[in-house]
Structure 1
């Protein structure tokens, strides 16, 4: 079936299956768009700094050792004070894994460990009161194997057999870890790219697509401010080779998925497409720029020269790109504290880069308090160590995360690096994040301005301009272990220091301390 046929099938499906509301107590019925208005500023996401939050690990409100919606709601004032304007929640739908949430079994119910639907609605309402938008993770590619839909499909139920991919023989496709992707069940084989417990949906089936469309409306009607679409590059495969079909993936998102988001005012759609980030930004509001992530980290570690980072910026439409230093997946590296081996100077230089360059920055929860992680080599899931309970206090039992025993080991350094201690130290990484996020919120040139690199002889310093209308900033970041004197004709102009290194003699240049920075504003 071609992508162009989808709309005709959707119309037929809407007319013909409205009466089929329940499937084994699973709601698969039609959900009408309520087009709910947004209380947030227009295109709020284009100027926001986001926090990526794993609800299970953020804050426990009832002492069961598991983070929940009410716990997160209790920390919204903290996020507001930090300057956060957007929250991305890792999957919150009912899942079989009771962990990361990417093995959903019901796309229209919240994870019971996190609370009730009313608890989630309250979270949304309280976030909106503080001017914070909330987007949720949405997995189009696969469900959990314990979904009633897959169970019936595996039984051979003709109504649901074609909701997933089945073969009479095992195809020899493998994924990026060289693991097989076709798995046996009841004498046949189904396709599960990531894991045998995550069978891939057959997105050529219009009933499956309609189920996703209606499920998206379910959450948008509830008031969520958009979606982060997981693994967009994996939605369709070539039928003979198993290679990802980029053209079909992008056409599907453009024709079948994004129009649903557009039914609602002021909603945000961001896509995860690791291998084609710059292309994906043309069909989504934004896409994570994984290539730039490597350049920013490399610059802060002083392994990459500035021109590589500049080229990445100039090659992309940064207004449509999202930037990160780390996230919940181990393929982006470990926690920042681990990646920089505890070198807070380099850590700060990376954060400065993230928050002063163009793009929409996403901060992973806990990085603002330098959370580390324990490495368990016997654990087959390396991602677990990146998802420890948030370090709120120095309590050796629960780090202020819970009044009970946390569901997972605490960060290895929680008794030293935690919000309670770091918030009292004006030179801490916490205040570094907070100061720069607030400055970014305040200055249009910093969150929405153009980018122009400035050429200097000193290869250890990144010097550039950001400009929005008449507001012009000159920003210098020193990636070296020693202080650097930076000279440029721009310093002969009228500039005032906003943040960073103390500046006296602009005419003779500015001296930037090791891993330090300076943000200068052109005099008005």
Structure 2
């Protein structure tokens, strides 16, 4: 496989609303990010993925864009953004912007025009349909609860919105619309950005005719997702996007693609096809969801996690490339979800980081992950801000009469606001995030968990991340080595090797709060080995057996 800068990089995601507030209005902003760039440079990351900072009415925290070429007032000005890019590039950091083009805001001038009349020049920039038998055009459901259609009495038709009703879906069948999007992408590329993270990009092609989703059991929840995920023209659209907007720039692209499987991901990321460099897939973050979907909680089995990661590691070994993540702005905090955020918070956070950063692919760090930030439990639904969470609560509790305590437990575990509480910079009021009232409450544990404390403690999670990132830059086996799993049926430990020519890594991970033993295979015994990194103080080398303490991680470097 070819060498590319994005394969050797570590990417850090900033959710600007919650990162750092510079002016005391309680909302993170671009000058705030600039003030913390040295922190990110010291951490060792190479690329910053910036969640949307475009003009937006903020129905879905910036993922509803009303002007793709302007900066949201909350975050600053275009001059602020241009200074951010310069300051990043001066430090050798690259900038990836969020591209949200499955939908726009209903306040975008395209949609304002589109809804005026059926013969408006912008009408076909969106997906409009007449009703059917006095109801919606089909039975698709929004991913944010309720119907995916909104009636507009002005023209007596419905428009499609897979997300919020303030996020109408763009009509990618319209070549004029597609050209507008490619021109907008070049506007940012010409300013010097280094690529795009593409929001739900595999939703842009819908099945012809927009048929009803089958519902033989008469279930209440029918998503229709198979008709708008990985649709019939998706590869044509992405290849056209590459030709028209991306081909002349040395940039990276990562496509967020819910519902994508390994075989589809190979097509999307095969370098010869010129679509995207890598995808975000969701299978591993759906393993603790029951048949009722995300909010239907079920315990995670380690063997399920191992089988899933192994499938993706081996599936994209020769064609394509993996994105490696355990949390982001849409997912709960990884130490709360996959580790132990109480007694073994530090150990389990380091173990999970080891797991991810030793795999084949590009690791993504979500802000606060590197200091072990945790999920939050607000007292009341009134303290939550996320539209997905609020819509779900209203539907389950107010419409369907479900037990509010049970629904709140799901929110504590899976709600998106877990990732969106303000970054905890120090132990001063509001964690040093703002001098004002934060837009969403700070996690009360900021006095114990904060960046100042982590930077000052050489044994902290933060310094462990620095070591992991440094090893990636120094050890080609971490970037290019082949992945092989050992003891795949073990429910307590995850063990894998990475092999490149005469170098081998043996990665041992205890996913439990009890001691576990690992029998070293005969073919690895007697080899010259040393510890590359571990999250406990531990003696050098291994013999025939390794005893792993709670949430222990050890990586051995073996010379063949």
TM-score (norm: length of structure 1): 0.84
Q: Aligned residue for 1:286?
A: 278
Structure 1 residues 162 and 503, CA gap change in structure 2 (3 angstroms): same
Structure 1 residues 86 and 301, CA gap change in structure 2 (3 angstroms): farther
SS for the counterpart of 2:68 is strand
Residues 73-82 or 497-506, more deviating: 497-506
Residue 495 of structure 2 is aligned with which of 463, 481, 492? 463
* 1:150 matches 2:111: yes
Residue 180 of structure 1 is aligned with which of 147, 160, 166? 147
Per-residue CA deviations over 1:34-63 (Å, capped at 9, x if unaligned) read xxxxxxxx7321111111111121112222
Contact preservation (8 Å) 2:301, 2:491:
no
Residues 496-505 or 364-373, more deviating: 496-505
Q: By how many angstroms is 1:392 displaced?
A: 0.2
Q: For 1:487 and 1:476, locate their aligned partners in 2 and report how far apart those are by CA, in whole Å.
A: 10
Q: Aligned residue for 1:324?
A: 325
Q: Aligned residue for 1:24?
A: none
Any residues of structure 2 matched to 1:207-286 within 5 Å, and which?
Answer: 207-238=176-207, 239-241=209-211, 243-244=227-228, 246-278=230-262, 279=264, 280-282=268-270, 283-286=275-278
Contact preservation (8 Å) 1:479, 1:515:
yes
Contact preservation (8 Å) 1:89, 1:134:
yes
Q: For 1:438 and 1:299, locate their aligned partners in 2 and report how far apart those are by CA, in whole Å.
A: 34
Contact preservation (8 Å) 1:277, 1:287:
no
Show structure 1 runs of 5+ residues with no match. Answer: 1-41
Per-residue CA deviations over 1:78-130 (Å, capped at 9, x if unaligned) read 11111211111111111111762111011111222212212212211221222
Q: For 2:150 and 2:21, locate their aligned partners in 1 and report how far apart those are by CA, in whole Å.
A: 37
Q: Aligned residue for 1:92?
A: 53
Q: Aligned residue for 1:27?
A: none
Q: For 2:232 and 2:488, locate their aligned partners in 1 and report how far apart those are by CA, in whole Å.
A: 45
**How much is the aligned-residue C-alpha RMSD, in angstroms?**
2.8
Q: For 1:338 and 1:320, locate their aligned partners in 2 and report how far apart those are by CA, in whole Å.
A: 25
Q: For 1:215 and 1:422, locate their aligned partners in 2 and report how far apart those are by CA, in whole Å.
A: 40
Q: For 2:55 and 2:160, locate their aligned partners in 1 and report how far apart those are by CA, in whole Å.
A: 22
Residues 66-75 or 472-481, more deviating: 472-481
SS for the counterpart of 2:446 is coil
Residue 362 of structure 1 is aligned with which of 364, 377, 387? 364
Q: By how many angstroms is 1:461 displaced?
A: 3.2
Q: For 1:408 and 1:456, locate their aligned partners in 2 and report how far apart those are by CA, in whole Å.
A: 42
Residue 350 of structure 1 is aligned with which of 349, 352, 357? 352
SS for the counterpart of 2:49 is strand
Per-residue CA deviations over 1:422-462 (Å, capped at 9, x if unaligned) read 23333333233232222223222112322123459966433
* 1:389 matches 2:422: yes
Per-residue CA deviations over 1:483-520 (Å, capped at 9, x if unaligned) read 42432231311112222162446333333322112222
Show structure 2 runs of 5+ residues with no match. Answer: 213-226, 290-297, 390-415
Q: By how many angstroms is 1:248 displaced?
A: 2.7
Structure 1 residues 152 and 295, CA gap change in structure 2 (3 angstroms): closer
Q: For 1:434 and 1:498, locate their aligned partners in 2 and report how far apart those are by CA, in whole Å.
A: 13
Structure 1 residues 294 and 433, CA gap change in structure 2 (3 angstroms): farther
Contact preservation (8 Å) 1:326, 1:336:
no
SS for the counterpart of 1:155 is coil
Per-residue CA deviations over 1:243-284 (Å, capped at 9, x if unaligned) read 226243422433322224533332001101111153233331
Structure 1 residues 302 and 190, CA gap change in structure 2 (3 angstroms): closer
SS for the counterpart of 1:240 is coil
* 1:204 matches 2:173: yes
Contact preservation (8 Å) 1:142, 1:200:
yes
Q: Aligned residue for 2:406?
A: none
SS for the counterpart of 2:551 is coil
SS for the counterpart of 1:255 is helix
Q: By how many angstroms is 1:315 displaced?
A: 2.6
Residue 506 of structure 2 is aligned with which of 456, 468, 474? 474
Per-residue CA deviations over 1:292-351 (Å, capped at 9, x if unaligned) read 45679999974647455433422334851102111111xx44553366451423333222
Residue 437 of structure 2 is aligned with which of 405, 408, 413? 405
Contact preservation (8 Å) 1:56, 1:99:
no
Q: By how many angstroms is 1:358 displaced?
A: 1.0
Q: By how many angstroms is 1:229 displaced?
A: 0.8
Q: By how many angstroms is 1:180 displaced?
A: 0.8
Q: Aligned residue for 1:487?
A: 520
Q: For 1:338 and 1:308, locate their aligned partners in 2 and report how far apart those are by CA, in whole Å.
A: 17
* 1:165 matches 2:127: yes
Structure 1 residues 300 and 52, CA gap change in structure 2 (3 angstroms): farther
Q: For 2:508 and 2:333, locate their aligned partners in 1 and report how far apart those are by CA, in whole Å.
A: 27
Q: For 2:388 and 2:488, locate their aligned partners in 1 and report how far apart those are by CA, in whole Å.
A: 45
Residue 60 of structure 1 is aligned with which of 11, 16, 21? 21
Structure 1 residues 512 and 475, CA gap change in structure 2 (3 angstroms): same
Q: Aligned residue for 2:402?
A: none
Per-residue CA deviations over 1:180-209 (Å, capped at 9, x if unaligned) read 111122132211111110111111111111
Contact preservation (8 Å) 2:350, 2:553:
no
Contact preservation (8 Å) 1:226, 1:261:
no
Q: Aligned residue for 2:294?
A: none
TM-score (norm: length of structure 2): 0.79
SS for the counterpart of 2:249 is coil
Structure 1 residues 307 and 99, CA gap change in structure 2 (3 angstroms): closer
SS for the counterpart of 1:451 is strand
Structure 1 residues 83 and 152, CA gap change in structure 2 (3 angstroms): same
Q: Aligned residue for 1:130?
A: 91
